[in-house]
Amino acid sequence: MTNTDKSLIEAHCRGDQKAFGEIVHRYGDSVLGYLIKMTGNKEQAEDLFQETFKRVHEKSHTFKGTEFKSWLFKIATNVTYDGFRKKHRAESQGREVSFNSMNDEELVSTVAEDNSFNPSVATVKAEQVEQVRHAVESLPDKQKAALVLAYYQQLSYREVALALDCSVGTVKTQMYRALKTLAQKLPEVEL
């Protein structure tokens, strides 16, 4: 019998360390993927991943609902926004903050997916991946969060609304604006 998310959280609150490990195992890849898409930087995402699960651990007693995944992504989103604020503060104070946002592993896996490897096609595809990544990174934070949660994490609009603490209508608006912006920035890229 598999444990529900709620039963795992309840067990964790009672001191069961294995329950928390199961939560991390169950959702770790999704959360890390979300954070990488939000930040464009694997190292920064890994730091935010640690902070996300630290907060889940600390706040687990506050979880009362049945929508654990949305609650988890709400924490991850808040951690991401906190990270953005810290980065902007550091930049505004004149400290150089640079993140190498090119993820070589992602590029290699994208090229490797094309079984009929053709260097010119691979180059065009790699350029398109880079254009899409830059365009997504340039979106306002709320649009980017809605897009990444709905598209990459495949959460329903209702789950995205819970994660972002807004209405479903707001999620639809953010998605519309994000997709409209991406279509304008990427007219020649097949989305």
Residue pair 162/71 in contact by the 8 Å Cβ criterion: yes
Q: Which tokens go with 168? A: 């479903």
Kindly state the average pLDDT of the residues 86-94: 66
Residue tagged 């090119």 (tokens): 102
Is the pLDDT higher at 101 or at 15? 15
Is the pLDDT higher at 64 or at 114? 64
Contacts of residue 20, defined as CB under 8 A and 6 or more positions apart, other chains included, come to 8, 12, 57, 60
pLDDT tens digit sequence for 51-70: 999 999 999 999 887 789 99
What pLDDT is stored for residue 83 in this prediction? 81
What sign does the CA torsion over 181, 182, 187, 191 have?
A: negative
Q: In degrees rounded to 5, what are phi and psi of residue 18?
A: -65, -30
Q: Which tokens go with 26? A: 């169950």
**Residues for the chain: how many in total?**
191
Q: Which CATH number fits domain 1-101: 3.40.50.170, 1.20.1050.10, 1.10.10.10, 1.10.1740.10?
A: 1.10.1740.10
**Same fold? 1-101, 102-191:** no
pLDDT tens digit sequence for 25-48: 999 999 999 999 998 889 999 999
Distance (Å, whole) CA 10 – CA 19: 9
The secondary structure element, H or E, covering residue 30 is helix 17-39
Distance (Å, whole) CA 168 – CA 145: 14
What pLDDT is stored for residue 33 in this prediction? 92
User: What spatial distance separates the first Cα and last Cα of the chain, rounded to whole Å?
Assistant: 40
- As to burial, measured by CB atoms within 10 angstroms (0-12 exposed, 13-18 middle, 19+ buried), residue 123 is exposed
pTM recorded for the entire structure: 0.67
What pLDDT is stored for residue 121 in this prediction? 59
- Look up residue 123 and give its amino acid: T
Domain assignments of the chain as residue spans, ordered by start: 1-101, 102-191
pLDDT at 91 > cutoff 80: no
What CATH class does 102-191 carry?
Answer: mainly alpha
Contacts of residue 176, defined as CB under 8 A and 6 or more positions apart, other chains included, come to none
pLDDT tens digit sequence for 124-176: 666 777 788 888 888 999 999 999 999 888 899 999 999 999 999 999 999 99
Longest dimension (CA), the chain: 57
